[in-house]
Protein backbone atom coordinates (compact mmCIF):
# COMPACT_ATOMS: atom_id res chain seq x y z
CA UNK A 1 0.00 0.00 0.00
CA UNK A 2 1.22 3.49 -0.77
CA UNK A 3 -0.22 6.79 0.40
CA UNK A 4 0.37 10.35 -0.72
CA UNK A 5 -0.36 13.36 1.40
CA UNK A 6 1.13 15.93 3.70
CA UNK A 7 0.75 17.00 7.29
CA UNK A 8 -1.43 19.90 6.14
CA UNK A 9 -3.75 17.51 4.26
CA UNK A 10 -4.58 15.30 7.17
CA UNK A 11 -2.10 13.23 6.46
CA UNK A 12 -3.35 11.12 3.48
CA UNK A 13 -5.13 12.33 0.36
CA UNK A 14 -4.47 9.51 -2.11
CA UNK A 15 -3.80 5.84 -1.61
CA UNK A 16 -2.87 2.85 -3.73
CA UNK A 17 -3.02 -0.81 -2.87
CA UNK A 18 -1.45 -3.42 -5.15
CA UNK A 19 1.08 -6.22 -5.26
CA UNK A 20 2.87 -4.59 -8.20
CA UNK A 21 4.32 -1.07 -8.00
CA UNK A 22 3.88 1.01 -11.13
CA UNK A 23 5.71 4.28 -11.64
CA UNK A 24 3.41 7.25 -12.10
CA UNK A 25 0.38 5.73 -10.34
CA UNK A 26 -0.81 8.18 -7.69
CA UNK A 27 -3.76 6.05 -6.59
CA UNK A 28 -7.33 6.82 -5.57
CA UNK A 29 -8.74 9.75 -3.65
CA UNK A 30 -9.67 9.28 -0.02
CA UNK A 31 -13.44 9.94 0.36
CA UNK A 32 -14.14 13.66 0.73
CA UNK A 33 -10.96 14.80 -1.07
CA UNK A 34 -11.08 16.71 -4.36
CA UNK A 35 -7.98 16.61 -6.58
CA UNK A 36 -6.86 19.16 -9.14
CA UNK A 37 -3.84 18.68 -11.40
CA UNK A 38 -2.24 22.01 -12.28
CA UNK A 39 0.53 22.55 -14.86
CA UNK A 40 3.63 23.82 -13.03
CA UNK A 41 7.09 24.14 -14.58
CA UNK A 42 6.35 21.59 -17.32
CA UNK A 43 4.90 19.01 -14.89
CA UNK A 44 1.57 18.46 -13.16
CA UNK A 45 1.22 19.47 -9.52
CA UNK A 46 -1.40 17.67 -7.41
CA UNK A 47 -3.51 20.04 -5.33
CA UNK A 48 -6.15 18.93 -2.86
CA UNK A 49 -9.24 20.38 -1.23
CA UNK A 50 -11.07 18.75 1.69
CA UNK A 51 -12.39 19.28 5.19
CA UNK A 52 -9.29 17.39 6.39
CA UNK A 53 -6.99 20.11 4.97
CA UNK A 54 -5.80 22.64 7.53
CA UNK A 55 -7.50 26.04 7.25
CA UNK A 56 -4.10 27.69 7.71
CA UNK A 57 -0.93 27.99 9.72
CA UNK A 58 -1.28 29.07 13.35
CA UNK A 59 -0.76 32.84 13.58
CA UNK A 60 1.03 32.92 10.19
CA UNK A 61 -1.30 34.54 7.66
CA UNK A 62 1.74 35.27 5.49
CA UNK A 63 2.39 31.51 5.07
CA UNK A 64 -1.29 30.59 4.76
CA UNK A 65 -1.92 32.96 1.86
CA UNK A 66 0.95 31.46 -0.12
CA UNK A 67 -0.12 27.79 -0.02
CA UNK A 68 -3.74 28.01 -1.21
CA UNK A 69 -4.71 28.89 -4.78
CA UNK A 70 -7.66 31.09 -5.82
CA UNK A 71 -10.07 28.12 -5.60
CA UNK A 72 -8.94 27.09 -2.10
CA UNK A 73 -6.80 24.10 -3.13
CA UNK A 74 -3.65 23.32 -1.13
The predicted pLDDT at position 27 comes to: 78
Helix (H, G, I), strand (E, B) or coil at 67: helix
Looking at the structure of the chain, the number of domains it has is: 1
Domain presence at residue 34? yes
Q: How far is CA 70 from the centre of its chain?
A: 15
Cβ–Cβ under 8 Å, residues 4 and 37: no
Q: Would you say how long the chain is, in residues?
A: 74
Q: Which residues of the chain have pLDDT under 70?
A: 1, 19-21, 23
The predicted pLDDT at position 20 comes to: 67
Domain presence at residue 73? no
Domain presence at residue 8? yes
Please state, in angstroms and rounded to a whole number, the distance separating the CA atoms of residues 22 and 37. 19
- DSSP assignment letter at 17: -
Question: How many Cβ atoms are within 10 Å of 57's Cβ, its own excluded?
Answer: 14
Q: What's the pTM?
A: 0.76
Amino acid sequence: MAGLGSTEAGPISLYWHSHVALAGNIGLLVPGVTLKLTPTDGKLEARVQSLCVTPGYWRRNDLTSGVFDDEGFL
